[in-house]
Structure 1
Amino acid sequence: MADAPATRRALLAAPMLLAAPALAQGAFPDRPIRLFIPWPPGASADVFLRAIADAAGRRLGQPVVPENRPGASGTLGAAALKDARPDGYTLAQLFGGVHRFVLANERASFNSLTDFTWIVQLSGSVHGIVVNADSPWRTLDDVLAAARAAPGRLTYGTLGPTSVQHMAMLDIMQRAGVELTHVPYRGGGELTTALLSKQVDVVADASGWAPLVADGRFRLLVVWGATRMPRFPDVPTLREAGIDLVVDSPYGIGGPRGMDPAVVRRLHDAFRDALEEDAVRAVMERFNLPRLYLDTAAFEAAQPASYEFERAGLRRAGLLPAGR
């Protein structure tokens, strides 16, 4: 006669074995995968993520379908992962801003350190400060001098409170001892329109402005990376302009927590290899996006330090709630 405890254990285990046949049988993916892009269409990150989603989809044998969810400083994609099934069919762009959002919002709907699977880091954003081509300001020093002469009168646009652009501008203003008035927008397209129509004096954003700088409609005053942009070699970095600050804003692809390691590996490999496609490289060159690849283990391991970096930035800016 069979041992009764052993029989009970076998019966309890049976439903667990039946619960994930697709993963166990290696069928992933057998249908399209959604990729949430937390920016409006046309932003540099949007263009890059669409290109790499297309390339990764060809490697996976199923389309990776982009879905824009702009707003909340680029964190609505992360929010969509919180309650998604961890089956690999729901992905989103993840970046340091999700930590900043959680730290600055006591009622955030997710925990950025525990609620996600950080699959692969891919690139980062090259940020800079631009003005209209007919602006009287030709350098960052010109803008800072104008701001000192009329505190609060000059306006600058970013992607919203606690966005990386806003945080960097606060840091620049503190270091330079000046005050400009912040005007938030939902995306790069709105920022471009606002500057062209002179609703704001200055825009701080990722490199979506690059084509307009190349066309002579915007003037690029300074870039925030560690080195100058090859496309605009005459434009100084913040450090060269006297502000000891580097902003590269690395980002990648993530999913809900609890994903099957085999599925994570499949997705990681597809997106990593897609970085080498000519179409993806062309987009990266167009927007001067760096290759900042990290594998799954390294991407995950980088997050606690990223979380503390964002906490320190919010504290310096006086935006960290009490108790955080």
Structure 2
Amino acid sequence: MKLTIKDIARMAGVSPGTVSKVINSTGNISQKTIDKVMEVIEETGYKPSFSAKSLATKKSNLIGLIYAGEVNVEFNHPFFNEVINSFKNAIGQLGYDILVFSNKEFNKEKEDYLARCKHFQLDGCLIVAGDHIEEALKQLDQSEIPCVGVDLELKGTNSSYVTTDNSKVSSKVVEYLYLNAIKEVAFIGGPDDSVISNIRKESFIHHMNLFGMSVRPNWIKYGNYFEQSGYDLMQEVLAQKPYPQVVFAASDMMALGALKAIKEKRMKVPDDIKVIGCDDIEACRYTDPPLATVRQDKDKIGKLAAYMLHDLINGNTESGSLLVDPELVIRESCKIENYLKVRG
């Protein structure tokens, strides 16, 4: 039989409220009473539920993890998986457990994130976003529940978000190519209504124009961040000449698909066409050739999200945003000989 706080109170000869105060180290309780209650707890092996503990602290020490959007990201998504692992480790050290929202039947009429948070007495939420965010997420953002978004701009008074500086993602790529006298570049992005992809695309176009590098509309493609999409769009680019010197994909997964399409055309990377991706997922190191990319600091993003959420929960910070600098990582797929010297 599972023991309750009332059972412990009866065995110790005290009130349930006294047991709660002992468990949560609150109130003015004599040492004799504390010892008596703790002795019963140790003898019975009683473990207080989070709801019993939260009665006194007003906190459950539970964080909700939401994979949001009509096009959801998945647990095995290479980029978000590493971010979540980093977040999990950091938030665990701060004393929290994670509850993943997965019950599609919680409310059969509509998705209701706020109702779930209140039902489970969550202290806060981490939101990882796909595309086409539901209205229910906006309601959660505007609520009293502290929230932190990853790659998702939140505007609520109890919300913050952390993301890579996506404008710099493209500027670093274009600058590297310009310094190496490369001017013919194709861009393979995410969906045409994706906020993150559009920031990268607009920055790409801006910096191409800034350096006098021509932007060809038929070399700007829209996909869905996954490998098959990169493969299909690269085939479209290769369907007509001239070919670009470089293909810049807004995700490593799409870049891997582009690599496959180029090889099927019996062309060589990087000799015929160079390829560069974005994210620096683990697979980049083991492709043939190893994939050049723009590294997003996934460990830092996860840790920042954990610390920001913890501070929001405890009222130690105001809502806001943090941008994390990306890093250009040149590997064989976009290697250029005599870097910075070819222009001479």
Tell me whether the two structures share a fold, i.e. TM-score over 0.5. Answer: no
Which one has the largest radius of gyration? 2
* TM-score of the aligned structures, taking structure 2 as reference length: 0.40
Higher relative contact order (CA 8 A, sep 6+): 1
